[in-house]
Amino acid sequence: MSAQAGKIECNACPVLCQITEGRAGACDRYANVEGRLVRVDPVVLMSREPEKVPFATREDDWDGDLVGGDVFVTGVGAGTTYPDYKPAPFIVSSRQDGVDMVTVVTEGIFSYCSFRIKIDTDRYLGPECATVRHRGEAVGHVTTIEYGSQFLSLGGVHHLTGGSKKEGRATCDLMMALGNKEAVALEVEGGAKLVVQAGRPPIVDGVEERRMRVGCGSATIGIFAKQWLGHVDEVVVVDDHITGVLTEHQAGKCLDMPPSGLRVRGRKSTPGRYFQVANPGTGWGGTDVTDPLTIVESLDPKVSRPGMRLLFVSTTGDHFAWYLLDDALVPRPEPMPPEVMKVVERIGENCEPSVARRHREPGAADPLDQGPADARHSRWRAGLRVAGRRHHGDGRRRADARAQLRLGADAGDRRADRVHDARRRLRAAGRPRRSRRAGRRGGRARAGEGTRVGRGQPVADRARGGAVTRR
């Protein structure tokens, strides 16, 4: 009992919590129960079936054997902090198939690790580096957008121990819930409200996602171009990444489709592929588009003709619209023909289900992992060295490389061997035959900085309705 009345000093770790009766320490693993320091979570033992094995009690006649029979220690509830000056509380010896085994069990510490959350959605979640909150507390941030998915980084030492106690508890509770595949509510500053659960579809602003996109707008054009041939005169696949225009696209050229005269907004990359046709959002293809005609800049009267059939569709098939040009070359919404609708439905059929996934990122000396997260450490332990570009002149292996290195993987004739097991420094390549070009100075500003588009609606103002959103 400590000098403070009614409190117990827990010496299980260097924090040395002063625990009031009826309360638990900072780790939530030790509590003061009627003046006694009690372990809240006992060590969990499992059988091979698997079934939980009850931990021995004071009344049991226990000889101290933790792994008798077909039982093993899981490590859940087994120890205190790590690393620490104290030995692991469970150091278990056993014998398996004639081999002496020693199991040292400690607990993992959340402050060493974080979670990376992969969310399958085209919907805009928020700007990169925006703070992500749980129960009002900052628990992470938005990272990047990859092909059809967006990522959050949650947890880590800054949120677990670097902020307020309330922030640390909210972050810890969040990580435990994610690790146990429970649903958690998140809010992105300046962005969306989310509910994520490992293995389940994410919920964005109250709408449950169903599909990942089948590909970008250009890829969708390439996949389905032949199925549209003869049924449409132009297809625009709206996408925040690359919007595709069929008759300009290579696929349309290969099918000898005549130009439609339709020109979309945005920055042209290559024929039929456009960047930044709209701003990010929760509308068509991850953009802020709700009316697809707003991305049409013009229709060339020398090329376009009355009666032309125009299809606008998103990369998941959730949004679509069908128009016919009238005599004044104004798009008018019309019912979609069944043969075109089948292809739109086929886009959705070829999409992967939308789910949220979480991956735990271990920190240095993480007891939950096999060692430090640095990949170089793993290669060192395995006795491997990975050759870099500097070891291969002009991308080829030096003629004397085999005399210098014991190569473990031959990539083939005239290609660089990349992995070998030599335990000495690599011999660098000779001087390249061609000098590298000097980088340009003072390059142009990155595209997309600031507001991406400032679009008018010359076509949309002349046509109303026709767009369909299917959820």
> pLDDT tens-digit profile of 189-202?
999 999 999 999 99
Whether residue 360 is contained in a domain is answered as: no
One domain, residues 142 and 192: yes
Whether residue 406 is contained in a domain is answered as: yes
56: left (phi over 0), alpha (psi -120 to 50) or beta: beta
Whole-number Å distance between alpha carbons of 124 and 252: 30
CB 33 within 8 A of CB 15: no
Strand partners, 193: 187
Q: How confident is the model at residue 206 (pLDDT cuts 50, 70, 90)?
A: very high
394: left (phi over 0), alpha (psi -120 to 50) or beta: left
CB 141 within 8 A of CB 153: yes
One domain, residues 86 and 123: no
Tokens of 213: 């996109």
Q: Looking at residue 435, what DSSP letter applies?
A: P
Cα dihedral sign for 292, 120, 206, 343?
positive
Q: What is the mean pLDDT of residues 441-458?
A: 45
Name which residue leads in pLDDT, 412 or 252.
Answer: 252
Number of domains in the chain: 4
Angle, nearest 10°, between helix axes 217-228 and 338-349?
Answer: 140
Q: Which of 21-35, 37-51, 89-103, 410-424 has the lowest mean pLDDT?
A: 410-424
Q: Read off the pLDDT of residues 355-403 as tens digits, 9 standing for 90 and up.
A: 999 886 655 444 444 444 344 444 343 443 444 444 444 444 444 444 4
Backbone φ and ψ of 172, nearest 5°? -65, -45
Cα dihedral sign for 354, 355, 356, 360?
negative
Whether residue 1 is contained in a domain is answered as: no
| H or E element, residue 225 | helix 217-228
One domain, residues 43 and 145: no
One domain, residues 187 and 144: yes
Q: How confident is the model at residue 180 (pLDDT cuts 50, 70, 90)?
A: confident
Where a domain ends, among 208, 227, 245?
208
Strand partners, 358: 117
Whether residue 337 is contained in a domain is answered as: yes
Strand partners, 321: 312, 467
One domain, residues 226 and 348: yes
Cα dihedral sign for 390, 394, 400, 403?
positive
One domain, residues 269 and 147: no
393 SS3 class: helix
One domain, residues 181 and 311: no
pLDDT at residue 210 greater than cutoff 60: yes
One domain, residues 326 and 236: yes
Q: Determine the residue type at 162.
A: G
Whether residue 395 is contained in a domain is answered as: yes
Whether residue 291 is contained in a domain is answered as: yes
Where a domain ends, among 105, 139, 158?
105
Name which residue leads in pLDDT, 227 or 5.
Answer: 227
Q: Read off the pLDDT of residues 299-337 as tens digits, 9 standing for 90 and up.
A: 999 999 999 999 999 999 999 999 999 999 999 999 999
Whether residue 379 is contained in a domain is answered as: no
Q: Which of 17-26, 76-85, 86-95, 305-314 has the lowest mean pLDDT?
A: 76-85
Q: Determine the residue type at 238.
A: V
- 41-55 residues labelled b (16+ CB within 10 A) or e (exposed): eebebeeeeeeebee
Whether residue 377 is contained in a domain is answered as: no
Looking at residue 408, its pLDDT comes to 36
One domain, residues 88 and 128: no
One domain, residues 133 and 203: yes
One domain, residues 70 and 84: yes
Where a domain ends, among 90, 105, 120?
105
Contacts of 195 (CB under 8 A, 6+ apart): 183, 184, 185, 186, 202, 203
Q: Looking at residue 44, what DSSP letter applies?
A: P
* Residue range(s) defining the domain that contains residue 345: 217-352+454-469
pLDDT at residue 407 greater than cutoff 70: no
Going by their DSSP bridges, the two strands 309-314 and 234-238 should be labelled as parallel
Rg, Å, the chain Cα set: 31
Distances (CA, A) of 141 to 131, 184, 226, 292, 332: 4, 15, 42, 31, 44
Find where tokens 């692991």 sit. Answer: 88
One domain, residues 266 and 316: yes
Closest CA to 248 of 227, 217, 281, 280: 217
Three-state SS letters, 55-122: CCCCCCCCCCCCCCCCEEECCCCCCCCCCCCCCCCEEEEEEECCEEEEEEECCCCHHHCEEEEEEECC
CB 288 within 8 A of CB 280: yes
pTM of the model: 0.62
